[in-house]
Amino acid sequence: MTDTAARNQRKIAVIGLGSMGLGMATSLARAGYEVSGCDRAPEALAAARAAGIITATDPAEAAHDADAVLSVVVNAAQTETVLFGGAGAVPALRDGGIAISCATMAPSEARRFAAAAAERGALYLDAPMSGGSVRAAEGALTFLVSGPTVTYEAARPFLEAMAQTVYHLGEDIGTGAAFKMVNQLLAGVHIAAACEALTFATKLGLDLAQVYEVISNAAGSSWMFQNRGPHVVEGDYTPRSAVEIFVKDLGIVEDIARAERFPTPLAGAALQLFLMTASAGMGHDDDASVARLYAKIAGLDLPGPAAP
Amino acid sequence: MTDTAARNQRKIAVIGLGSMGLGMATSLARAGYEVSGCDRAPEALAAARAAGIITATDPAEAAHDADAVLSVVVNAAQTETVLFGGAGAVPALRDGGIAISCATMAPSEARRFAAAAAERGALYLDAPMSGGSVRAAEGALTFLVSGPTVTYEAARPFLEAMAQTVYHLGEDIGTGAAFKMVNQLLAGVHIAAACEALTFATKLGLDLAQVYEVISNAAGSSWMFQNRGPHVVEGDYTPRSAVEIFVKDLGIVEDIARAERFPTPLAGAALQLFLMTASAGMGHDDDASVARLYAKIAGLDLPGPAAP
C-alpha cells in the first residue's frame, strides 16, 4: 500500500471491545475504515481478533495517527483514563483528530473532557447512544450527538457506519449527555415497571404469554416492555444488558437530579429496585431479573431459573 | 315498522354517556343497532341527543326489552347502581339479555356482579377496555373480555362494532378485570414517568419538542410517552383523560395489591404523584398535568398554563 493510499483510508481506534464496542468496531470495519481496537480484558481482545479486528496493547497504540478515537467504556472515570491517562488515546491522534465519547455521563463531565481534548489539540464529540448489542453489530444504533457542527460533520461518516439514526442535538457539549440521561431515566423506570406488572399478573393467576401479547397491543406498552417482556415470559436471564448497567445509569441520573435539586421519585424507586436485584446476587444477569426479585419477595414461581 | 322487523333489529342500552360512552353509543348506532342511552348529567344527555342518540330517563327505561346493556360508568359502585339498583338496567332486559361491564374494577367485584346478574336471569360479561375517547368514537377500542364462551359469542357483534381488537381472555369472570389492572398499572406509571422525564429535561435546559421527537424514537419510549408527551410540549391540559381517572384506577390496583400482599413500589409512587396533582387543584385537568406538578415543585416554566 502506498503512503497516499494509506492516507486515503481513514483510521479509527475503538477503546472498549465489550458487546457494544465489538459490534461498533465490526460495523466500522465493514464500512471500509481501518479499525484498531483495545480492551483491558484478554477475552474481549481474543473475541475481537476472532472477528477480524486488529488489536493494540493500549489506547495510545490503538489511536496512533488515527483520525478519531471512539470511547465505548462504561462511565466518565474510565473515559478519562482511556482518553487522557497514561498511554491515553487523545495525545496519540493525528493533529486535529476527534475523540468521540459514547459512555453515559453527566453533562459537566462531557464539558470537562472537551476542554481537556482542546488543550491537546484534539476535537471532542459528546455522542452517547441508544440501542443494545444486537443493533451495535447491525450498525443500527441511535446516536444522541452534541458538539460544534464542524466536529460533527467530520465525525459523521464514522457515526453513520454504526447507526440507523444520528441526531445532532446542538452545538454545546453536554446536550447529548443530558438527552441520554432523560432516555435512561425512562428506560430504567419502564424495565422495572414491566417487571412489577408481569409479576403482579403472575400473582393474579394470569397467563404470562397472554399478558405479554395483550399489553404489547394496549396503552400499557413501552419499548422496554416489548423488548424485555420475552425474557421474563421465557425465563431467559442471559445478560443482553445487565442489572449493573442500570445501577450505574440511574445512579448517574440520581446524582445529577440531586445536584440540580430536582426530585425524581420514580427514577429513585427504580434505582432501588435495580440495587435490590444486584444485592440479591443478580447484578450480572439480564436486567429483566428485577422480575425475579419481585418473585423472590412474594414467593412466586416464574418461568426459568429463580433468583439465587 | 312491523313487530318482526323490530325484533330483528337488536337493541342495546348504553349507560354512561361521557366521552367514552357517547363514542361507543355512536359506533353501535353506526353499525345499525337500536341504541338507547342514559346518563345522570343533563349536559351528557344533551350531547348524546345532538349526536342522534335516543336517550332515556333511567337505566331501566333505556334497557327495556333490550338484548344487552353496556355499562360505561367509572367504578364498581356506579356499576352496581346502574345495573342492579333502583331503576337498574338488568331486570329490564329481555330474558337472557347480557350485561356488558366496562368499568375498571377488582376481579372479585366482577364475579359478584356476574352472580347478581345470574340471579335475575341475565348473562354477564367482564369487558374492560383500553383506548381513549378518540378511539371510542372511531369504533377502534381494545376490549379485554372474559366470561363463558356462549355469552362472549352472543355479545361479540356489539363489541366488534366498537373495537379494533377484542380479546377473549378466558371463561372466568374476573380475568378481564385483572388484565385491565395490569394494563392500568403500566399506563399510570408510564404517564407519571413521562412527566418526570419531560420536566427533568426542562430543568437540564433541553428543548422539549426535540426531547419528544428523539425519545419517541429511542428505547425510552412508551405508548403513553408518545400519546401524552404532546400535551406537555404544547401546554394543552384540556382533559382527554383526567388526573382523577388514574387516582381511581391506580387506587384499585393498590387496593388489590395490598389485599394480595404484593408490593408495587412503582405503582404506589405513581399513585402518590396523581394524588399530589389532584391535591394541587388539577384533578379534572388532563393527566399529563403531573408535569405541571413537577414544574410547580421545582419552580420551572413549562409551555401553557401553569399549575394553579
Inter-chain touch B190–A220, beta carbons under 8 Å: yes
Res. B134 pLDDT band, cuts 50 70 90: confident
- Element containing residue B182 per DSSP (H, E): helix B175-203
B-chain CB neighbours of A272 within 8 Å are 265
B101 touches chain A (CB under 8 A): no
Task: Give the CA distances from residue A77 to residues A103, A105, A242, in Å, rounded to whole numbers and listed in that order.
Answer: 10, 9, 19
Q: Which pLDDT value is given to residue A259?
A: 94
C-alpha cell at B120: 335475575
For residue B9, is pLDDT > 90?
no
Q: Which pLDDT value is given to residue A215?
A: 96
List pLDDT tens digits, range B12-71. 999 999 989 999 999 999 999 999 999 999 999 999 999 999 999 999 999 999 999 999
Res. B8 pLDDT band, cuts 50 70 90: low
Residue A180 is among the residues annotated as catalytic for this protein: yes
Could you give the strand order of the β-sheet that contains B54-55, starting from the edge strand earlier in sequence?
Answer: B54-55, B34-38, B11-15, B68-71, B98-101, B123-126
Q: Nearest residue on chain B to A264, judged by CA atoms? A: B196
For residue A146, is pLDDT > 90?
yes
A-chain CB neighbours of B219 within 8 Å are 130-132, 183, 187, 223-224, 227
Chain B: closest CA distance from residue A126 (Å): 15
List pLDDT tens digits, range B104-129. 999 999 999 999 999 999 999 999 99
Q: Nearest residue on chain B to A270, judged by CA atoms? A: B266
Inter-chain touch A193–B273, beta carbons under 8 Å: no
B130 touches chain A (CB under 8 A): yes
A206 touches chain B (CB under 8 A): yes
A-chain CB neighbours of B254 within 8 Å are none
A-chain CB neighbours of B211 within 8 Å are 179, 182
| Pairwise CA distance, residues A73 & B120, whole Å | 68
Task: Please name the member of B181, B218, B224 whose beta carbon is closest to the beta carbon of A219.
Answer: B224
Q: Angle, to 10 degrees, between the axis of helix B175-203 and the axis of helix B243-259?
A: 120
A-chain CB neighbours of B210 within 8 Å are 169
B-interface mutation test, from A167, A262, A272, A290, most B Cβ less than 10 A away: A262
Q: Mean pLDDT over residues B216-244, rounded?
A: 96
List pLDDT tens digits, range A287-297. 999 999 999 99
- Closest to A65 measured CA to CA, from A29, A13, A127, A113: A13
Inter-chain touch A269–B272, beta carbons under 8 Å: no
- Closest to A125 measured CA to CA, from A176, A201, A72, A87: A176
End-to-end CA distance of chain A: 56
A-interface mutation test, from B180, B211, B222, B253, most A Cβ less than 10 A away: B222
Inter-chain touch A196–B223, beta carbons under 8 Å: no
Chain A: closest CA distance from residue B58 (Å): 32
Inter-chain touch B219–A270, beta carbons under 8 Å: no
Chain-centroid distance of CA A67 in Å reads 22
Domains annotated for chain B, with CATH where assigned, are 3-171 (3.40.50.720), 177-298 (1.10.1040.10)
Q: Which pLDDT value is given to residue B106?
A: 94
Task: Please name the member of A200, A225, A262 whose beta carbon is closest to the beta carbon of B264.
Answer: A200
Q: What is the mean pLDDT of chain A?
A: 95
For residue B306, is pLDDT > 80?
yes
List pLDDT tens digits, range A2-39. 444 444 589 999 999 998 999 999 999 999 999 999 99
Model ipTM?
A: 0.93
List pLDDT tens digits, range A249-264. 999 999 999 999 999 9
Task: Please name the member of A167, A222, A257 whose beta carbon is closest to the beta carbon of B200.
Answer: A257
- Element containing residue B145 per DSSP (H, E): strand B141-145
For residue B2, is pLDDT > 70?
no
- Closest to A89 measured CA to CA, from A131, A118, A120, A61: A61
Chain A: closest CA distance from residue B35 (Å): 27
Q: Which pLDDT value is given to residue A8?
A: 59
Task: Please name the member of B167, B178, B219 whose beta carbon is closest to the beta carbon of A206.
Answer: B178
DSSP 3-state assignment of A71? strand
Q: Nearest residue on chain B to A225, judged by CA atoms? A: B222
List pLDDT tens digits, range A72-105. 999 999 999 999 999 999 999 999 999 999 999 9
Inter-chain touch B167–A257, beta carbons under 8 Å: no
List pLDDT tens digits, range A152-205. 999 999 999 999 999 999 999 999 999 999 999 999 999 999 999 999 999 999
Q: Which pLDDT value is given to residue A165?
A: 95
Inter-chain touch A223–B218, beta carbons under 8 Å: yes
> Count of alpha carbons within 13 Å of B79, Cβ hemisphere only?
27
Beta strand B129-130 with B141-145 is antiparallel
Chain B: closest CA distance from residue A206 (Å): 7
B-chain CB neighbours of A206 within 8 Å are 175, 178-179, 182
B168 touches chain A (CB under 8 A): no
State the DSSP code for B74: S
Res. B4 pLDDT band, cuts 50 70 90: very low
Beta strand A54-55 with A34-38 is parallel
How many Cβ contacts (< 8 angstroms) between chains A and B? Answer: 200
Q: Which pLDDT value is given to residue B131?
A: 86
Q: Mean pLDDT over residues A137-148, rounded?
A: 96
Could you give the strand order of the β-sheet that contains A141-145, starting from the edge strand earlier in sequence?
Answer: A129-130, A141-145, A163-168
pLDDT above 70: percentage of residues in chain B: 97
Q: Which pLDDT value is given to residue A6?
A: 47
Chain A: closest CA distance from residue B45 (Å): 29
Residues whose CB is less than 8 angstroms from the CB of residue A230 and which lie 6 or more positions away in sequence, other chains included: A212, A236
Binding-face residues of A in 215-234 toward B, CB within 8 A: 215, 217-225, 227
B129 touches chain A (CB under 8 A): no
| Pairwise CA distance, residues A82 & A231, whole Å | 34
Q: Which pLDDT value is given to residue A9?
A: 84
Q: Which pLDDT value is given to residue A132?
A: 84
List pLDDT tens digits, range A195-240. 999 999 999 999 999 999 999 999 999 999 999 999 999 999 999 8
A257 touches chain B (CB under 8 A): yes
Q: What is the mean pLDDT of chain B?
A: 95
